[in-house]
Amino acid sequence: MAKRRQLRAFDLKQIDGYESLIGVDEAGRGALAGPVVAAAVLVNREFLESRWALNNAGRINDSKQLTPTEREALWFDFETLVAQGQIHANFGIGDVDDIAQVNILGATKLAMRRAIEGIYPPAAFEQKTEPDLFSSPEEIVEFQPTVSAKIIVDGLALRGFPYPHTGVVKGDARSLCIAMASIIAKVTRDRMLTALESEFPGYGFAQHKGYGTEEHRDALLRLGRTPHHREVFLRKLFAQRVDPDQVDFWAEAQAEENATWEP
């Protein structure tokens, strides 16, 4: 009950002054294989005050705190909510090639952008000047008001991101719509990695979902790498002979960006 009130109360406060709220989260940024997947979920005040939210918000949490069965059950609930028009949801992918080209931080930004683009294009958030009394009829017709939606992203705010947004540290445990996005991203990615099991038997993708478990490392030593493995991650791990759990590729990518970013 307390959790339900906490998540809904946070979003009700965030949506104040806006027509809708979009929560964004990702899954898979620390894995050794597979894409990073992001999801975006749009809710409005009517949904946050709906019977479904009142009765079910307590079931929703950071996806990592839920069992696979709980996540799948909520996924089907979300599909129904989308079909009924109560929420909007979309996911985006940053694949292994994206990770190789722009590092894991850049690929995560791409995945998040692609997820939000399925709901609104970046141009919808551009600040536009409302026509005044001296505007021509053509200018008045061409004017379109800016979308009234606030975007909140799990974690710190992202530099160079095309959408105005607010970072919420540990947002998947504080915000209902971010937690919903985390579940969609996690279920989507888990299904993708499970599908690799038949294509690449012996790696255990259905069990570890691409993360650096002992089973996964043993399979890599026996069978070698697949096209779905993140080359830069493996190169560093094998060169340094370190435990993947001790390497924070996300933090390294942020440090690299901070060193090269110019305001």
**pLDDT value of position 232:** 86
Cβ within 8 Å of residue 117, ≥6 positions away: 90, 92
Relative to beta strand 88-94, strand 20-27 is unpaired
164-214 residue pLDDT tens: 999 999 999 999 999 999 999 999 999 999 999 999 999 999 999 999 999
* 139/75: higher pLDDT: 75
Q: What is the mean pLDDT of residues 13-24?
A: 97
103-147 residue pLDDT tens: 999 999 999 999 999 999 998 987 665 555 555 555 544 555 568
**pLDDT value of position 1:** 45
- pLDDT at residue 76 tops 60: yes
Residue 90: pLDDT band (50, 70, 90) is: very high
SS3 call for 61: coil
24-55 residue pLDDT tens: 999 999 999 999 999 999 999 999 999 999 99
- pLDDT at residue 226 tops 70: yes
* 21/30: higher pLDDT: 21
Say which residue the tokens 């540990």 belong to: 170
- pLDDT at residue 84 tops 60: yes
Token pair recorded at residue 49: 């005050």
Q: All domains of the chain, ordered by start, with CATH? A: 2-193 (3.30.420.10), 196-256 (no CATH)
Ranges of H-type helices in the chain: 2-14, 45-48, 51-56, 68-83, 96-117, 137-142, 176-199, 205-208, 214-223, 231-240, 249-260
Q: What is the mean pLDDT of residues 215-237?
A: 90
Sign of CA dihedral 12, 91, 61, 169: negative
Q: Which amino acid is at 160?
A: G
Say which residue the tokens 């919903």 belong to: 180
Residue 68: pLDDT band (50, 70, 90) is: very high
- What is the enclosing helix (H) or strand (E) of 20? strand 20-27
d(CA 5, CA 53): 10
Apex 220 CA angle, 215 and 224, nearest 5: 155
Residue 251: pLDDT band (50, 70, 90) is: confident
**pLDDT value of position 127:** 64
**pLDDT value of position 141:** 47
* 255/7: higher pLDDT: 7
CA dihedral angle for residue 42, residue 150, residue 168, residue 62, rounded to 10 degrees = -10
Residue 241: pLDDT band (50, 70, 90) is: low
Strand-pair partners of 93: 37
